[in-house]
Structure 1
Amino acid sequence: MAIVNIIFPIMFMVTLGYGLTRVGFFSKEHIAGISKFTFYVSIPAFLFTNMLAAPLAQSIDPYSLLAFYIPVLLVFVIGYQINRYIGPITQRNSDASAIYALGCSYSNTVIVGLPVITAALGKAMIGSIFMIITFHSAFLFALTFVLAARSQQQGFSWRNFSRSMVLNPVVLSISLGIIANGLTIKLGEQLDDGLALLAKPALACALFVLGANLSFYRIGDNWRLALIASGLKILLLPALVYVMAAIVCQLPAQNTMMLVLLSASPLGVNAYLIATEVKQHQATLGSTVVLSTLLSVLSFSLWLTWLT
């Protein structure tokens, strides 16, 4: 499949969302409503139905998890140290460094990674993709909050964090899909058709909302740190994942491509929300979301050309 055939439909939806929101056809309140439907209804239906149908025996691969998460942890550490040494003087503490590290390593796996991979590989790898996605937010958010809590008076609550992760619509829908798959639960033709119809607009809506949200962010004063974070996120991280997957773990070509494309995804908006909650590097991560999303077109094109 030509690279343009993979990238163009994705960028078309992102550009459409950005353009229509930028000219005022959709307001922030409209996008908030579409986002709520997308992330709490349509995407969970998509994840659940696909996880229910996925071949679990082929999806659980510890080597794929290691090939993805070891580079993620390494880039997180690099980002942490970069902020400690070259970040703004007032933001060289543990919580700001943890937030910046998150901005260097957290991937937009569902909104961007999933559409790119399904366009390139079809749905053959979808079970393996979901295994990566299930632990992705929990791993990085827990690491960030634990490090940030060292300089926060209230500390870190595992109870609150566990509750938020369990009730996360992505984690919950994939987990329920795994349970239903393992128990070979049959939903019935009518419910299957209803969920399939609900899941159909998931990826298109997610890309549209991504583009719309980009119109609300601006590249701020910390653009240099944002550019460094973007480079680590969409260039260094996938390169390290490629080395781990193809050379160290010697995974099959399709598994390697899936992991590299997931890691080459831009910074997820949730990282910006965490920065807002911790009150550190909000402008930097907001800028990184915009920059890494724009530059990811080049990164995806590079890796698709290399791996196909």
Structure 2
Amino acid sequence: MTIVSIIFPLIFMVALGYVLTRAGFFNREHIAGISKFTFYVSIPAFLFINMLAAPLAQSIDPFALLAFYLPVLLVFAIGYRINRHFSPVALQGRDASAVFALGASYSNTVLVGLPIITAALGEAMIGQVFMIITFHSATLFALTFILAARAQCQGFSWRRFARSMALNPVVMSIGLGILANALNLNLGEQLNDGLALLAKPALACALFVLGANLSFYRIGEHWRLALMASSLKIILLPALVYMMAHFVFQLAVQNTAMLVLLSASPLGVNAYLIATELKQHESTLGSTVVLSTLLSVLSFSLWLTLLL
């Protein structure tokens, strides 16, 4: 399979969402409806039925988790220190630094990473991808909120955070899929076919929504910081993951490719939502979402060429 045949269908769906929304054929309300269906119905169905069918014994690999998360935490720390020294004085606080660090290390695993890996490596790696995704948001969001709470002299509520993570549709659907898999649950042919039909548009809708959302963001005044965060996210992070997976843990080629492609994904929109909630680096992370998504086309092409 050529690089173009992997990348083009994904770019086509993102571009279609962007162009149709930019042209006014879809507005924010339309995209909000499609997004709600995608993230609360179709993607959970997709994650659940694939996790139900995944070989769990082969999916849980502690070395793969370490090869992914050690570089993620390192890049988070690097982003934190960079912000403390190079951002404008008003944005050098611990809370702003935590948000910038999130922008330099948080991957768009579901919207971009999963479709790329499925197209390049097939569905055999989905079980391991889901194991990474399960802890991804929880780890980075908790770290960001803890640092921000310390800076703002506010207490961090583990109960509130755990509840929000447990009710997250991605985490919930994967968790239920793991439970059903462990119990060897048989859904029956009719229900299984219904969920499979519901799951079919998941990845296409996710890419379409990504493109549509890009039309709402702009590369703002803090484009230099956004470029710095994008470079950490799509250049340094996948390089560190590759070195960790290939040289340190000596993982199989397929596993290494999966981890690198997942880490090479652009910044996820959820990181921008965290920035708006904490009122820090909103412009920077909004710009980083756009910039890292555009640059990820080159990054993915490079890594696909090297790894496949």
Partner of 1:114: 114
Whole-angstrom distance in 2 between the partners of 1:283 and 1:227: 12
Partner of 2:177: 177
CA deviation profile, 1:146-180 (whole Å, cap 9, x unmatched)? 00101224321111100000000000000000000
Partner of 1:266: 266
Partner of 1:130: 130
Whole-angstrom distance in 2 between the partners of 1:227 and 1:156: 31
| TM-score with structure 2 setting the length | 1.00
> Is 1:89 the equivalent of 2:100?
no
CA deviation profile, 1:245-294 (whole Å, cap 9, x unmatched)? 00000000000000000000000000000000000000000000000000
Whole-angstrom distance in 2 between the partners of 1:202 and 1:156: 34
Partner of 1:200: 200
One-letter amino acid of the counterpart of residue 300, structure 2: F
Q: How far apart are residue 61 of structure 1 and its match?
A: 0.1
One-letter amino acid of the counterpart of residue 38, structure 1: T
> Is 1:149 the equivalent of 2:149?
yes
Partner of 2:71: 71
> Is 1:223 the equivalent of 2:223?
yes
CA deviation profile, 1:190-214 (whole Å, cap 9, x unmatched)? 0000000000000000000000000
Q: Is the partner of 2:287 in helix, strand or coil?
A: helix
Q: After the TM superposition, which residues 208-247 of structure 1 pair with which residues of structure 2 at under 5 Å, given as runs? A: 208-247=208-247
Whole-angstrom distance in 1 between the partners of 2:296 and 2:89: 30
CA deviation profile, 1:65-117 (whole Å, cap 9, x unmatched)? 00000000000000000000001101111000000000000000000000000
Partner of 1:22: 22
One-letter amino acid of the counterpart of residue 206, structure 1: A
> Is 1:6 the equivalent of 2:32?
no
Whole-angstrom distance in 1 between the partners of 2:251 and 2:167: 33
Partner of 2:140: 140
Whole-angstrom distance in 1 between the partners of 2:42 and 2:289: 23
Q: How far apart are residue 9 of structure 1 and its match?
A: 0.2
Whole-angstrom distance in 1 between the partners of 2:169 and 2:19: 28
Whole-angstrom distance in 2 between the partners of 1:91 and 1:21: 33
Whole-angstrom distance in 2 between the partners of 1:220 and 1:242: 32
Query: RMSD across aligned C-alpha pairs, in angstroms?
Result: 0.5
CA deviation profile, 1:32-77 (whole Å, cap 9, x unmatched)? 0000000000000000000000000000000000000000000000
Q: Is the partner of 1:150 in helix, strand or coil?
A: helix
One-letter amino acid of the counterpart of residue 71, structure 2: P
**Alignment gaps of 5+ in structure 1:** none
One-letter amino acid of the counterpart of residue 107, structure 2: S
Whole-angstrom distance in 2 between the partners of 1:242 and 1:96: 29
Q: After the TM superposition, which residues 182-193 of structure 1 pair with which residues of structure 2 at under 5 Å, given as runs? A: 182-193=182-193
Deviating beyond 3 angstroms after TM superposition, the runs of 4 or more aligned structure 1 residues are none
Whole-angstrom distance in 1 between the partners of 2:109 and 2:48: 16
Whole-angstrom distance in 1 between the partners of 2:155 and 2:25: 43
> Is 1:275 the equivalent of 2:275?
yes
Q: Is the partner of 1:267 in helix, strand or coil?
A: coil
One-letter amino acid of the counterpart of residue 189, structure 1: E
Q: How far apart are residue 22 of structure 1 and its match?
A: 0.1
Whole-angstrom distance in 1 between the partners of 2:93 and 2:107: 24
CA deviation profile, 1:218-238 (whole Å, cap 9, x unmatched)? 000000000000000000000
Partner of 2:61: 61
